Structure 1
């Protein structure tokens, strides 16, 4: 139900407010505020701290873990070319995970207090404040939880010689994704692939939120029919 008398006070911590929007949340969250200001989420300082992550923390923390996974496969005696191919397969697998999560989880429609609140924390905040540089990448603590669950699943499904390389490849794909995502918002490319990806992603934010779910590649959007209309991707820029 829509709370007709409620409006979000942007000068107060946001997370526990947005749930009260009810059915109006979907419209509100897709009316972006174009500023590099980082809004406050929680009154509690510790909770607030864990919502903010600089982009460079992602490669700094996770690239050594990628190396450990890949070396673990090498240490089983698996030939290097098999390890390389398996790692590359993991990177490719990540691109499908990236698309699937973005389309079916990050853009799920909600209207309940709990649903709105969780969605805002997961992805809605990024659409409301797309230039907030401290909430563009996934917090490391949350990544670690997901990684442990994924690692235990992959160990069950794949041989011990290949499971670490696949996991390392998926994690490498994630690092590439989060770094690419940050730079699509904050860099100003003049041309080339980076420019094309930026234009594609800015279109997703500002014109067609239900299209263009790929970040590092448009392959899955092309395959699954979620490319935006050709004319809608022109001249979509941000500062």
Structure 2
């Protein structure tokens, strides 16, 4: 699928559903940073976690998010499109983004959808971590907000002259050279560990 630097895919004929697929990036970033801070505050104020536990489980949650991001990108967003239904789902989830990578209004899931996922993950992680869920999920949500920020910067601006440049190059390789590598957006960690780092020349 050849990238198109201009334009926008139409995903639904229903105008309401179509409009819901677009969002300004500042909205979900703000929502999830506020929720992450609120969860840490609630956990600390109600003695579910102390300060050291909050920091430790927050970092753990952030690390967990980078793995979830990698796995979702590699195995869900780039699923095999061997049936018409899977092809349609893949295009709605992610294929349209590869076709129109400069569409700034589709660089994040609609907040309603992402909030539903966040609620589901809260209850799953509560079963695993118990009262420490407030630190873990705060880290996961903050990681998601940082992913959205990095993803937007990569697609909306020229390569920055700071540490973000390497992430810009990494994700650009995924979009414009080889979509089967470089699945990590906010971090290349799992690409290193799981063998999907792109092979780059010395000039890259």
TM beyond 0.5? yes
Please say if 1:197 is aligned against 2:197.
no
Offset at residue 33 of structure 1 (A): 1.2
Relative distance call for 1:190 and 1:143 in structure 2 (3 A) is: closer
Q: Is the 8 A contact 2:9 2:96 kept in 1?
A: no
User: Which residue does the alignment assign to 1:159?
Assistant: 130
Could you tell me whether the CA contact under 8 Å between 1:62 and 1:175 is conserved in 2?
yes
Residue 93 (structure 1) aligns with: 64
Residue 187 of structure 1 is aligned with which of 147, 152, 157? 157
2:88 counterpart of 1:114: no
* RMSD (Å), alpha carbons: 1.5
Q: Mapping of 1:21-60 within 5 angstroms?
A: 30-35=1-6, 37-60=7-30
**Greater Rg over alpha carbons, structure:** 1
CA offsets 1:147-176 (integer angstroms, 9 cap, x no match): 11111111111121x111101110110010
Corresponding residue number in structure 2 for 1:72? 42
CA distance in structure 1 between the partners assigned to 2:203 and 2:83 by the alignment? 33
CA distance in 1, matches of 2:203, 2:194: 18
Q: Distance in 2 between matches of 1:214 and 1:189?
A: 17
Matched residue, 1:63:
33
Q: Does 1:171 find its partner at 2:141?
A: yes
Q: Name the CA distance, whole Å, in 1 between partners of 2:72 and 2:13.
A: 29
In the alignment, which of 166, 183, 187 is matched to residue 217 of structure 1? Answer: 187
| Residues 1:226 and 2:196 aligned together | yes
Whether contact under 8 Å (1:52, 1:139) holds in the other structure is: yes
* Aligned mates of 1:155, 1:98 — CA distance in 2: 20
Task: Give distance in 2, aligned partners of 1:43 and 1:149.
Answer: 29
Q: How many positions carry a matched residue from both structures?
A: 203
Moved more, 183-192 or 97-106: 183-192
Deviations 1:9-45 (A, max 9, x none): xxxxxxxxxxxxxxxxxxxxx221122x233322221
Higher relative contact order (CA 8 A, sep 6+): 2
2:12 and 2:141 mapped to 1: Cα distance? 29
Structure with more helix by fraction: 2
What aligned pairs does 1:100-139 form with structure 2 within 5 A after superposition? Answer: 100-139=71-110
Distance (Å, rounded) in 1 between the aligned partners of 2:202 and 2:174: 10
Gaps of 5+ in 2: none
Counterpart-to-counterpart distance in 2, 1:166 and 1:83: 8
Q: Give the Cα separation in 2 of the matches to 1:39 and 1:32.
A: 11
